[in-house]
Amino acid sequence: MSRSSPNQRRPGRTESARATLGASQLGTSLAIAGAVLILAAFGRFCVSFTEFTYPLTSAGAWLLLFITSVITILRVRASGYLLRNLAFAMLLASLSVVVALDLVAAWSAAAHGVYPTAAIAAGGVLLGIVTLRSVPDVAISSGILGVVLLGSLVFRPDLTSFASAINTLLTAFAIAPPLIACVIVASYRRMVLMALDRVLIQSTVAAPAFGVSMLESDELASVDLEVEQLFDDISSGREPLPLEPERAKRAGELSTVLRRHLVAGRNHTWLHHAIAESDFLSGSVEIRDDEALAALLDQGQRDGLLSALWLLMYGEQRTARNAVLTLGPAVPVTPGGRQRLRFPITIEASGMRRVDVEPATWQHLGRAGRYVDTTTSGALMVVIECTVDSPIDQ
């Protein structure tokens, strides 16, 4: 029995890569929407400039907002469209000053129909950076902005029902767009990552039945190179025999690593690697294949089983589930005098009902073999009957 470790990840999947993955066009659209929100707020500022309690303070807030926006744009372009931690912290600090100055400038001016403008435009800036930072970063910042704007109502001396309603509406105008954008971007990133993950593990369908995974192959290549260098040093006389204790100890470690890879290569099938190398399946699917029967499946059966498992785990609801995948035991059969093996593949998916399964899942299950599904309390169980060629005949 083995459970694919969720800590096994392919190299290159950094958080910054996740933050900007495939979202350039989406980021441009959100930046334009943020600019529209800022311009709308600036138009209100121009109309009511003379009515502000401290008009120069509000003008200073807008000047700081424009300077901050320009500097942020330049830094983002220079860093390859990434908004790093320091730049993001400086941006939030500047926006905090902008909000404070604007609230002071509009203090006690509600009677003249004057309300915060630059503070509302800060929401447009947050909207423009949704694709440049993680969703929680922008969502928390937007939430804090909303709390500050609503909290300022409690202490305003000109608090009336009408003024409260207007300020509440403006607060929603500031924080609703970035929060909605966070939901959209989070869904988009997850969709893209799932598609890339699915395509990547699909390569295991045509991979050798046994072998090492992509992560293990890097380690094996490094060990093989070190072994070759050691042999070359010995054959050329640069490394005299017998080996020094330290070198002899290292040679023993290398042989242990090679033996481990050899043993693992005969126990871990393509299915183990497909699950272990998947960011979405590695933490939710447990494989029990003591006889390494997955290695006997043909390419069509592999594709059907893997596709069905994927849809069971992440269907239309896109909610993570847990499943136990058990292969075997195998029994020999002789249809038509030909030696073959027959074994069940049992998928027990917790927290699922039959109505939760997408129709395409059943088609993929049928490619793996004849199947029977039952629903128990809190779990869906599917038993696939597979018949494959005996290893002796292959």
Q: How many distinct structural domains can be found in the chain?
A: 3
Give the mean model confidence (pLDDT) for residues 71-96.
91
Question: Which residues are CB-neighbours of 241 under 8 A, at least 6 positions away?
Answer: 234
Please indicate, yes or no, whether residues 258 and 383 belong to a single structural domain of this protein: no
pLDDT at 237 over 80: no
Identify whether residues 79 and 191 lie together within a single domain: yes
Residue 307 lies in a domain: yes
Same domain, 113 and 255: no
Give 297's DSSP letter: -
Residue 21 phi/psi, 5-degree rounding, is: -60, 110
Does residue 298 share a domain with residue 259?
no
pLDDT tens digit sequence for 136-156:
999 999 999 999 988 887 776
In terms of Cβ atoms closer than 10 Å to its own Cβ (0-12, 13-18, 19+), residue 355 is exposed
Q: Please, what is the angle between helix 118-128 and helix 24-47, to 10°? A: 170
pLDDT at 225: 64
pLDDT at residue 151, rounded to an integer: 85
Range of the domain at 308: 281-394
What CATH number is given to the structural domain containing 376? 3.30.565.10
One domain, residues 299 and 247: no
Stated as kind and residue range, the H or E segment containing 325 is strand 323-327
Paired tokens of 274: 């497909």
Predicted structure pTM score: 0.67
Asked if residue 276 belongs to a domain, the reply is no
Greatest Cα-to-Cα distance within the chain, rounded to the nearest angstrom: 98
Q: How far apart are CA 170 and CA 164, in angstroms?
A: 10
| Closest of 304, 51, 92, 310 to residue 195, by C-alpha | 310
Phi, psi of 324 (to 5 degrees): -115, 125
Tell me if 106 sits within 8 A of 50, measured CB to CB: no
Spatial separation of the C-alpha atoms in residues 278 and 287, rounded to whole Å: 14
Rounded percentage of the chain residues whose pLDDT exceeds 90: 26
The arithmetic mean of pLDDT across residues 19-24, rounded, is: 53
DSSP string over 104-164: HHTTT-GGGT---SHHHHHHHHHHHTGGGS-HHHHHHHHHHHHHHHHHHHHH-TT--HHHH
Q: Are 310 and 296 in contact (CB under 8 A)?
A: no
The string of pLDDT tens digits covering residues 171-183 is 899 999 999 999 9
State the average pLDDT over residues 230-241.
66
